[in-house]
Amino acid sequence: MIITAPLIILMCIVFVLMFLFVRTIDKRKWLVVLVSLVLTPIVYFYALYPMINIFSSYHHQKYFSSQLWKEKPALRYELSDDMMTSELLIGQTKSEVNALLGTYEWLSWDDEKKAHDTNRWNYSLGIEPGAFNTQKECVEIIFDNDKVIALNLYKEDIKFDAEN
């Protein structure tokens, strides 16, 4: 565990709250301090810390790796930021993108042609962890003359098999 300023501040706040709570139960100061010292880490790591993780939208970022992309499709959102900022795919051919990312998961629909557009490949990035998250992230790779010209991130509602 890395001791940081926010950790110490939150632990102090939890200690003060525990101290005030335990003081309502018993007036002996030595007992109040002892019980507060014992309960503070327990309350912090089993109540406050999990709540922070549930409601915050922080997730780990990883450098792009073709192997991780293919092996762990549910965690692609961790790789997507590096892929977008490094512009790794810009200028790549369809065969090079296929070698890096694997076969596309679906093609975008072209209303003018009334058919799937083979120049717009889509991949799911997975579901970012967090409470109340009802959308999954996706990336659309746009080709022109067999070369990647743009990447578009977008969100899509999560649909389960039981839904129509």
CATH code (residue 117): 3.30.1450.10
Q: Residues 77, 146: one domain?
A: yes
Query: pLDDT value at position 163?
Result: 58
Q: Residues 74, 47: one domain?
A: no
Separation between Cα atoms, residue 130 and residue 53, nearest integer Å: 7
Q: 3-class SS at 128?
A: coil
Q: Residues 127, 73: one domain?
A: yes
Spatial contact of 142 and 148, defined as CB atoms under 8 Å apart: yes
Q: Residues 46, 71: one domain?
A: no
Number of domains comprising the chain = 2
For the whole prediction, is pTM greater than 0.75? no
Ordered mean pLDDT values, 10 residues apiece, the chain (164 residues): 79 85 86 84 83 74 89 88 89 94 90 89 87 86 94 87 62
Query: pLDDT value at position 99?
Result: 93
Integer angstrom CA distances of residue 119 from 26, 42, 84, 145:
72, 54, 18, 9
Q: Is residue 60 part of a domain?
A: no
Q: Residues 71, 112: one domain?
A: yes
Burial pattern 37-76, b for ≥16 Cβ within 10 A else e, equals: eebbeebbeeeeeeeeeeeeeeeeebebeeeebeeeeebb
Q: Residues 16, 73: one domain?
A: no
Nearest to 136 by CA among 62, 75, 94: 75
Q: Residues 27, 100: one domain?
A: no
**Torsion over CA: 17, 18, 21, 24 (sign):** negative
Domain residues for the domain of 9 are 5-55
Query: pLDDT value at position 18?
Result: 83
| Pair of tokens at residue 153 | 């991130």
Spatial contact of 80 and 139, defined as CB atoms under 8 Å apart: yes
Which residues are paired to 150 by β-bridges?
A: 142
